[in-house]
Amino acid sequence: MVRTTITALGQRGEGIAEVGGQRVYVPFTLPGEAVEISVEGERGALLSILSPSPDRIDPFCPYFGTCGGCALQHVAPTAYAAFKHGLLVTALSHAGIDVAVGELVDARGNGRRRVTLHARAAGAGYMRARSHDLLAIEACPILVPALQKTAPQIARALHAAVGDSDIGFTATATGLDVTVRNGRKLKPQKLVPMAQNLKLARLALNGELVLQAQPPSVRMGKALIELPIGSFLQATEAAEEVLASLVLAGLKGAKNVADLFCGVGPFALRIAESARVLAADSDKPAVAALANAVKHTMGLKPVTTLSRDLFRDPLAPAELAPFDAVVFDPPRPGAEAQARELARSKIKTVVAISCEPRTFARDAAILTAGGYRLQSVTPVDQFAYSTHVELVGVFRR
């Protein structure tokens, strides 16, 4: 046991202490707190708080501190916002980019509409903090009401039929979309009665459709889009709306826009209400779903879809020439190859969305070296109580 004082909060939301001349990372602690900890290498475990920080609040979830899902429920709102804001400031600073970062926008809404639970013989839930051991839960309060208790219940019921699995849930306008992944060879048709009894909109097993009572659908602007199995969706409905409003503000006046890494079209479908759009992504089912939504939506400008791996084959300057503006929203690794092509282009406006400040900062440095100015950058909080932050950056030539 060691008595020490927490001096800072690290990027993973862990308190940092100096013990014996080396840094020790202690989860669930805050700067300024005097604590008792056990130490193993650079990892510390909190035993007791001798002097709590004024920024400490009571967590609302009974599993906090044991569950590995949330790291920051104990942080008061002002300090919480400052921490997430700081993640982006630090990433940009390390990349040599000097820009005023906007205030954190709260986009948690009524909770996350997507979750993956681990189903085991002991129950269903998340992994314990810093462990691969299951923490079985009865409910998760950071999910939308339709998932809070229902997702663990359904996961437990499915485990009885399919064994140890990872089970993904998406709450849609037409019901729950459930995907089961495990390593067993199972006959999907055996799960049809269970899917019917659970009243699921859709059930898929290892990517194969088991039953679809009705297509899982979500509204994006004027369009209603049917989600492909396993498709990406922003974690909260509120975040999608916030991100889209920031994108549209950055594109104001543009008449011909390329939406790269478009997914199922959360931005493309909204942009198309006022501008022509090229929507490109390597995810063929997502691009097909977007094209189908366009076909059935009135009042949109022309939308052209393109299935293309933008990591290996980014749009070149000659292909970008017809556009007034480009939007890109890549996965966590960022859009380095496409950023290099944009830096060589004459596009006037680039709007970048990212869920990883460090890869955004890398791509931003490429664009600024190519003559762009990062006009604004706004952090968005949809990953409640985690150490992740979404953001939107607007670049101009």
Which amino acids are annotated catalytic?
355
Strand order in the sheet with 373-381: 105-106, 373-381, 390-396, 349-354, 325-328, 256-260, 276-281, 303-307
Nearest to 79 by CA among 141, 34, 29: 29
Q: How far is CA 138 from CA 122, 128, 135, in A?
A: 12, 15, 10
Any idea how long the chain is?
Answer: 397
Side chain identity at 201, as an amino acid letter? A
**Backbone dihedral region of 45: left (phi > 0), alpha (psi from -120 to 50 degrees) or beta?**
beta
Helices 357-369 & 77-94, crossing angle to 10 degrees? 40
Side chain identity at 30, as an amino acid letter? L
Q: What are phi and psi of 284, to 5 degrees?
A: -60, -45
Those residues with Cβ within 8 angstroms of residue 59's Cβ, 6 or more apart along the chain or in another chain: 65, 70, 73, 74
Residue 98 burial (CB count, 10 A): 8
Tokens coding 244: 């889209």
Residue 104 burial (CB count, 10 A): 21
Local structure of 262: helix, strand or coil: coil
Tokens coding 150: 């229902």
Is the separation of the CB atoms in 186 and 151 below 8 Å?
Answer: no
Alpha-carbon span 377 to 55, nearest angstrom: 26
